[in-house]
Amino acid sequence: MEMMTVEQAIYQALAEEMQRDNRVIAMGEGIATKQLQLVEAFGKERVRNTPLAEAVVAGTAVGAAASGLRPVIDMLFAPFLSYAMDALVNSAGKLRQISGGQFEFPLVTLAMTGSGWCVGGQHNHNLEAAFVHMPGLKVLMPSTPADFKGLLKSAIRDNNPVLLFTDLGLLHSQGEVPRDTDYLVPLAKAAIRRIGTDVTLVSYAKTVAVCELAATQLAEQGIEAEVIDLRCLKPLDETTVLASVRKTGRLVCVHEASGLCGMAAELSALVAEKAFESLRAPVMRVTGADATPPASWMLEQVGVPSVQNIMGAVIDQVAIKTMPAAYRLS
């Protein structure tokens, strides 16, 4: 094990995979300036600074992926993905199926997002659910340096287009990371961060830690919360979520992205469809607003899920002793 930041874990994973497989290449605006160790190890042929041209950088990655390379592209901030949408959604996501399965697109797209840097809505916009909505794509949004390493390595070895979102608030956070160059975290496997019996808190990225804090404080009040870190939003680990909700009977979904058509909505539907009979209270969502993320520090603070919001939702849920008739199966 080795202490490192999320950022270091990302570039360690990339370096290890580039070492392992010379088809892996990295492209981005400034990657060859900022990650000199990659240029030194693998040369400018495989570590490429690009022009400001997200549309064609992503398109080039898609074309190269279909033709034998395994590109990793750094799109910097999530809102810049809008220029890359066509290549990622219409090409990488669809052309395998459209072509009757003739092509594979082993391609990883990196993008940062999230509150904490006061950069405002054209740099901070949690778009993960928009990509979850797109067929053919896989979407990761981890919370610990070890998961960043293990999931990115799995993503690079996967034969499908994967997006990995990095929460800005986590970029410089530290954690223990295995040194093993084959340390892989499987896609589609959620992690249980805390075991509990009274309520299930499901989250991902920066708000996992907020859920854990809330769980600690809830425990002082005698409420035992289970905390699930999805890590991978698509494919979704339904089994882990359902098993937990069947045990606790309560679900609170937490994320910074807007609640409207977000992951929390999907989880609510999942539980309503497949674990309805175990619910002892309505599912609750603690999410960002359906609005542009603000730059102002004060607004950023109040706009994201807090320990208080989460505790409030859980306490409201626990207060419901019997489900209203409408919720009971006859």
Partner 1 sequence: MHTSQYQMAEPTDKSLQWLEQMQLIRTYELHLAAMQSKGVPGTCTSVGQEACAVGVMAALDKRDRILTNHRSAAHLLARGASPGRLLAEVLGRIDGYCGGFSGSLHISAKELGVILTSTIVGGELSMAPGVALAQKMGQGEAGGIVTVFFGDGAACEGIFHEALNLAVQWQLPLLFVCENNQWQAFVHRLETMPDNAIINWARGHGLMVDTVDGNDVHAVFESATQAVSAIRSDSMPRFLELCTYRQRGHFEPDDQAYVDRQELAHWLERDPIKRLCQRLLQQGMLTQQSLNNMQQAIDEQIQAAQAFADASPWPDAAMLTRHVYA
How far from 205 is each of 9, 93, 148, 319, CA to CA, in Å? 15, 24, 10, 28
* CA dist., res. 153 & res. 138, Å (int): 14
Does 260 bind partner 1 (CB under 8 A)? Our answer is no
Binder of residue 217, out of ligand TPP, partner 1, none (CB less than 5 to 8 A by kind) = none
Lay out the site mask for ligand TPP across 54-83 (x = CB under 6 A, - = otherwise): x---------------------x---x--x
The site that binds partner 1 (CB under 8 A) totals a number of residues, namely 34
Does 226 bind ligand TPP (CB under 6 A)? Our answer is no
Nearest approach, Cβ of residue 32 and partner 1 (Å): 8
* CA dist., res. 308 & res. 123, Å (int): 27
Cβ(66)–Cβ(110) below 8 Å: no
Nearest approach, Cβ of residue 258 and ligand TPP (Å): 21
Does 50 bind partner 1 (CB under 8 A)? Our answer is yes
Nearest approach, Cβ of residue 31 and partner 1 (Å): 9
Q: Give 83 or 103: the residue with its C-beta nearer to partner 1.
A: 83
Residue 51 burial by CB count (10 A; 0-12/13-18/19+): exposed, middle or buried? Answer: exposed
Does 55 bind partner 1 (CB under 8 A)? Our answer is yes
Burial profile 77-105: b = 16 or more Cβ within 10 angstroms, e = fewer: bbbbbebbbebbbebbbeebeeeeeebeb
65-73, 95-103, 207-215, 286-294 -> range binding partner 1 (CB under 8 A): 286-294
Does 79 bind partner 1 (CB under 8 A)? Our answer is yes
Query: Among 158, 146, 143, which Cα is nearest to 17's?
Result: 158
Q: Which amino acid is at 108?
A: V
Q: Give the footprint of ligand TPP on residues 247-286 (CB under 6 A).
A: none
Lay out the site mask for partner 1 across 8-47 (x = CB under 8 A, - = otherwise): ---------------------xx--xx-------------
Q: Give 52 or 325: the residue with its C-beta nearer to ligand TPP.
A: 52
* CA dist., res. 62 & res. 65, Å (int): 5
Does 117 bind ligand TPP (CB under 6 A)? Our answer is no
Helical packing angle, 238-248 and 263-274, nearest 10°? 60
Q: Which residues pair with 232 in a beta bridge?
A: 140
* CA dist., res. 290 & res. 119, Å (int): 18
Nearest approach, Cβ of residue 33 and partner 1 (Å): 4
Residue nearest to ligand TPP (CB): 80
CB contact set of 311 (below 8 Å; sequence gap of 6+): 214, 217, 218
Active site residue 123: yes
4-12, 80-88, 156-164, 272-280 -> range binding partner 1 (CB under 8 A): 80-88
* CA dist., res. 262 & res. 249, Å (int): 22
* Residue numbers at the binding site for ligand TPP (CB under 6 A): 29, 52, 54, 76, 80, 83
Would you name the residues annotated as active-site residues? 123
* Residue numbers at the binding site for partner 1 (CB under 8 A): 29-30, 33-34, 49-56, 79-80, 82-83, 117-120, 122-123, 289-292, 294-299, 302-303
